[in-house]
Structure 1
């Protein structure tokens, strides 16, 4: 039976009804400051009512849908738990702290430091864990470098945003595969290309917050070069079928490339207290 004969017609009203649960959650969380659990329950109730009274869903369909949702949640939680285990293992070893302390020493100017910390380092952390951890680590480092707290938080939130899809060990991308029914091999390339473009936008936003047009002019070429490196790395890893480590690997390649560039090619820009050997050891 063709799928079109089963699904309701694609009309503006049906599209609005289908989006209503998401809109309810967004309104309650953003507009009314509700917590995620309460807003999620309200969104679930909205979806149930809309499916019954407007789309004609019966009890069997609802129970099957709930069962699929639970199984998908368990799958995503499994990936998330492994990502958090990886992050906490690295963090307890002290590696994250060392990388965060030494990375700003690669360059003396604030635009480059902001890209190294908020964009490259933040994306690396997003690839391994996500869930707010990049901003929680990056923002205090930026404040310590002299940025205003609000600016530091904004840079920390924007810098890693492009790495979310393949981040958290690919949990979002794996969920995309599960919900669309499309093979990962089909989705991997267009997703990686779009994310590479988004990566440039995130880095540009960080530069702009770091110093406006002056910062963009000073480090725009470095931003573009690193975008090509990171984007190509993520695309290659994703096309190899390693979706769970695509963002993590791209962030790692970005870190290594930036370290090599500033320590070997532009070593005149190193901060006096920079310790290259300590930074390299943190990756092992």
Structure 2
């Protein structure tokens, strides 16, 4: 059978022309989504078709190879990516259908001393981050927006608050699937990428509570509550850095959110909020009164928090030492892809590894399934006097309900990954990367913009990494060959991820979810105008940080 070697000057013998043609699939995706207003899965299907045509006609890739490349990417999109998201959302749904989520919501009523601003930050930033860590893909925005609206925050401010708060945890969202995807598509160690992101995202996270205070209550809010904002943001940033660098990177946000929430609760036992009545008057609310929590006992509070402790324990055990991770990894099943094996040849004349590793046990989705089953059993055992009408069957039923609800999301992710693999294997992504890298040193400054654009359009940092990870690696390798030694592939992959973090708030999907949650349907443009300046400011800060890390601050990412 004939072999195929990707050439970056395949179109007319020109790198520039090849790169221009290679951009067509991405342009097709953006035009379909934003111009035609097509649904995400339709846009992904069209762009995949364009990518296959470009691969076959422009880059001279055999049709059977291009189609099998799409299959290879689609399989990875479904498992583990869709599997992880499915299990993450199901895990959250178990707490909802069991009735324990309501206890968690009411627990927040006890925190903050009646300060609406602090309560909003704890819900949007800490608890929303925890939801992002487990579920992501819009769930945190929808849930926390509703909770904050119930506090008395105006709809536009509530939507803006939750969208900006959702910035901090996105890189490690859905059990860090964006970073796992960057490692898989870019061919680099995901743990190394996570550690570099751990030297970028915490800088943004520290300032997010201050931004939220400004949005909620302007200068007065900053004057009254900058101290707890610094405590919450600082504890989150430190924990996020430590977990990303020294612990299981999949649990980075879980650890950071639990630590920041715990530190905040402890701090607020001694620090008395200022200007509480003033902010309530400005919001047109009555005087603060103790939260009505009925029979919310310590046991019920613990049972509401227990699922997240179990997740930490399960993931911590799976990454403990060397023996357990090695045993889990040994269960992976390596599958050679038909048609691709021995036919994809790199520039050095060696076969490209196109095999698929079926990690049926050694993946975050399965670990979340195990954690969810344990939580379900414990909820059934400790169901005080049958207070909660919840059965094991209810929990299992939610798996199928969730799967049906996210069917179009699953199709979109599978198609986006298929698109990424076709572009990678055919040489389209490499052609774009080589051409963009010709910009020289300045590219390190602009690297996060690709992630920002990708996430803004697709609504997913995972999808942005699937689209651009190979490009970032190629650009980094060329920069290094031109003497920019600090622009490592891991740094630019991290830049793509962190850039995507600040693009999430302006994505059409996020805007639509926020608008629906705060009853502002049809007014997405108002929310967009509210969050866009913050997105641009944070993007600029990310670009400068990455540029400095590629030069004078390279010691920060030398691991």
Q: 1:152 aligns with which of 137, 158, 172?
A: 158
Alignment partner of 1:8 is 2:8: yes
Alpha-carbon shift at residue 21 of structure 1 (Å): 2.8
SS class of match (2:87): helix
CA contact (8 A) 2:231 2:264 kept: no
CA distance in 1, matches of 2:73, 2:29: 17
CA contact (8 A) 1:139 1:156 kept: yes
Match of 2:290 in 1: 272
Alpha-carbon shift at residue 164 of structure 1 (Å): 1.7
Q: 2:48 aligns with which of 31, 40, 44?
A: 44
CA distance in 1, matches of 2:210, 2:21: 37
Per-residue CA deviation, residues 119-163 of structure 1 (Å, 9 max, x unaligned), is: 111111111111111111111111111112222122222212221
Match of 1:99 in 2: 104
**What is the correspondence of 1:1-284 to structure 2 with a 5 Å cutoff?**
6-8=6-8, 14-73=18-77, 74-107=79-112, 108-262=114-268, 264-266=269-271, 272-273=290-291, 277=298, 279-284=301-306
CA contact (8 A) 1:167 1:248 kept: no
Match of 2:365 in 1: none
Alpha-carbon shift at residue 204 of structure 1 (Å): 3.5
CA contact (8 A) 1:103 1:279 kept: no
CA contact (8 A) 1:111 1:218 kept: no
Per the normalisation by structure 1, the TM-score is 0.85
Match of 2:415 in 1: none
5+ residue gaps in structure 1?
none
CA distance in 1, matches of 2:103, 2:188: 41
CA contact (8 A) 1:185 1:241 kept: no
**Structure 1 residues 192-201 or 17-26, which shifts more?**
17-26
CA distance in 1, matches of 2:15, 2:106: 54
Alpha-carbon shift at residue 15 of structure 1 (Å): 4.5
CA distance in 2, matches of 1:18, 1:202: 37
- Number of residue pairs matched? 279
CA distance in 1, matches of 2:200, 2:7: 29
Per-residue CA deviation, residues 42-80 of structure 1 (Å, 9 max, x unaligned), is: 221222223233333222431342132122112111211
Alpha-carbon shift at residue 94 of structure 1 (Å): 3.0
CA distance in 1, matches of 2:92, 2:130: 11
Higher Cα Rg: structure 1 or 2? 2
Match of 2:382 in 1: none
CA contact (8 A) 1:118 1:159 kept: yes
**Structure 1 residues 87-96 or 252-261, which shifts more?**
87-96
- Judged with a 3 Å threshold, the aligned counterparts in structure 2 of structure 1 residues 72 and 268 are, in CA distance, closer, same or farther, namely same
SS class of match (1:199): helix
SS class of match (1:165): helix
**Structure 1 residues 147-156 or 95-104, which shifts more?**
95-104
CA contact (8 A) 1:151 1:209 kept: yes
CA RMSD between the two structures: 2.7
Per-residue CA deviation, residues 58-112 of structure 1 (Å, 9 max, x unaligned), is: 2243134213212211211121122123212222333333222332442222321
Alpha-carbon shift at residue 14 of structure 1 (Å): 4.5
Alpha-carbon shift at residue 209 of structure 1 (Å): 1.8
CA distance in 2, matches of 1:240, 1:274: 41
CA distance in 1, matches of 2:207, 2:69: 37
Per the normalisation by structure 2, the TM-score is 0.46
CA distance in 2, matches of 1:47, 1:204: 43
- If each structure's helix is expressed as a fraction of its own residues, which one has the higher value? 1
- Judged with a 3 Å threshold, the aligned counterparts in structure 2 of structure 1 residues 213 and 17 are, in CA distance, closer, same or farther, namely farther
CA contact (8 A) 1:193 1:231 kept: no
